[in-house]
Homo-oligomer: A and B are copies of this chain.
């Protein structure tokens, strides 16, 4: 070290660092390593009775060519200062949208590395085809279009269909791993019987022995039918009120691993018995909830979110939350999807109990 250097002031020193594309950690530590996560998303409710008219109006505003993406994205108010590729987000790493497909419309086959799931909100018998298997969708069905799986859809029924889309777009864009490919306007060829995976795999925990050759990270099931989901919930609810924090709760699983349906998102269905008020807790994973049945409210981060059937709401990561079924006679059923598998796989999932919020 020369005298010259020694005589330089601290100010000059700091001013000179950018030239070398370096920066002093000791000035920035508080931004980098926080005691607890700094979560930017906020608890938020999207009311179906408000969004649905906007969605229906989109049917008129949007041209025929654009119709295949007639989706209103649910934008978390806390995330609107993020750049475009990650701003369309319901929680930190989860995208949600409400999609409308009108009778007679089709969307051509395509695939992308962001994975998608659908929970059917309204309508009957529109189809999605995933890698050669077509499924006819009904209320409450949960349909997977995983990472890089070719899919297309259409509505050959005479009523509109609306579903909730869940994707990991903010995550995949954050990881700079988005690929997209289009296959034109014609529906893909059907190479399997309609609803083959649901018919084969939905009942009885029986797997075709070919399973041993399945080497994907995601479930081969295209549609987890509501009929089976509801039956399981009701059977179990006769026996138990379930877990303190979530009532009767189930994870949709990959038949070949028992694990989550996709490596980036897991899906849950839960039933709150009449009048149930769950214990509060929190976890580093975030979630998007959709009200399949019933009404009530959740307290999230001290904020009361009152929900009705078909509403959607956001649970930010690490936010304390508890759920209340507002009815003393009817069950409430909540569907949700979450980025929990990501946090678990990376050793970053953490959960903590909490007192109920005042």
Contacts and interface: CB of A to CB of B under 8 A. Distances in A.
A22 B284 contact: no
A22 B39 contact: no
A345 to B, nearest CB: 4
Which one of A33, A178, A228 has the greatest number of beta carbons of chain B within 10 Å? A33
Given A175-B342, A178-B37, A201 B205 contact: yes
A235 B315 CA distance: 39
A88 B36 contact: no
Nearest to A202: B204
Interface of A is mostly: mixed
A35 B178 CA distance: 7
Interface stretch (A118-126, A218-226, A295-303, A322-330): A218-226
B218 A176 contact: no
Contacts of A246: 209
Nearest to A209: B251
Contacts of A262: 347
Instruction: Specify how many copies of this chain sit in the oligomer.
Output: 4
A139 interface: no
A211 B180 contact: no
B264 A193 contact: no
Interface in A276-326: 284, 317-318
B209 A224 contact: no
Contacts of A343: 175, 177
A119 to B, nearest CB: 14
A28 interface: yes
A35 B243 CA distance: 39
Interface residues of A, number: 134
Given A177-B350, A258-B258, A22 B35 contact: no
A320 B180 CA distance: 19
Interface string A137-180: 00000000001000000000000000000000101111111111
Interface in A246-279: 246, 249-258, 262-264, 268-269
B20 A69 contact: no
A340 to B, nearest CB: 9
A260 B69 CA distance: 40
Nearest to A176: B37
A62 B232 contact: no
A24 to B, nearest CB: 6
A238 B113 CA distance: 34
Given A22-B75, A176-B37, A263-B346, A32 B169 contact: yes
Nearest to A115: B347
A20 B50 contact: yes
Nearest to A192: B239
Contacts of A263: 345-347
Contacts of A112: 33
Nearest to A14: B61
Contacts of A76: 21
A253 B255 contact: yes
Given A216-B347, A263-B347, 7 more contacts: A16-B54, A17-B54, A25-B97, A34-B179, A200-B232, A200-B236, A204-B229
10 contacts: A13-B57, A16-B54, A25-B97, A31-B85, A37-B178, A174-B174, A199-B235, A204-B225, A255-B258, A345-B346
- Per CB-CB distance, the 3 closest pairs between chain A and chain B, nearest first, are A204-B228, A206-B250, A193-B239
